[in-house]
Structure 1
Amino acid sequence: MEHVVFFPAPDGTPAFRRVPSLEEAVRLVEHLRNVDGVASASVHALTEVPLAFRAYYKVEVPAEASVPAQQVAEPVGLEPIVVEPEHEVAEVVETPALALVEDVQPDGEQDEELLAASNGHSQAAPASLGFFA
């Protein structure tokens, strides 16, 4: 696990150095203390923090796009208009329905062909489920 060592630089500004292991962090602190004379140093472990991303949509309307409210005029009283037909309408005469043709019983092969044609397959049942097989 990576570690980071924080210490003050010779000019007094904060400084840090990343090292790949705790042992190297300890050696760096010893070097800073014994060779460079740094009295205060701290060591911190770097661990990954799990992140989750979510989609976020923000809708903005430009200021110039807003339309000022318009005054609505008072409604004008309207009178209903009566429309009379120009031509005479013929009277409807009811006629009896045609006699029904006797039901024809199709054979089983015809039913399968009709089913296959209706579902887009050349056979009554598809041979494979395709992608989900």
Structure 2
Amino acid sequence: MSSVNVLVAVNVEQALVQAASGNTNIGNFVYMVDSTGYCSSGQGGHELTTTVTSGETIVWTVQSIDPSTEVTIIGFEGNAIGTPGGSHIINPMQYPQFSGSVWGGQVYAASSGPDQYSIRLLLGGGVHCWFDPFIISNAPANQ
């Protein structure tokens, strides 16, 4: 099966300003695109809906828009996230060779519709923030 790449670009400087005011949902400063092209909605925004087929691997890469500020992924949460069973469809893990900037996981189940999940980030200076895009997982055509 193939991989679907998701790029998460973050305006860290503006996200830090908002987080300092107490709001750690930094969706307004996140811009996402994926390699599925026309299949996904929300390209360029923070609520990207990535459409995949069960068995594919999703690889998330986070990058700061300003190269002088840091951002890393520290985890994923939500009903779609976890070990197989229940409504879980993927269990992303850090790719350690990329120091927290790249995570991925194989989609192991189809979903009944769009599943929202949260990506937890660590911004420069040790600030914890999050935002919440979507995944749609379809069963393979031969099932």
Fold conserved between structures, TM > 0.5: no
Which structure is richer in relative contact order (CA contacts within 8 A, separation 6 or more)?
2
Q: Which of the pair has more CA radius of gyration?
A: 1
Choose between structure 1 and 2: higher strand proportion.
2
Q: Provide the TM-score with structure 1 as the length reference.
A: 0.21
Choose between structure 1 and 2: higher helix proportion.
1
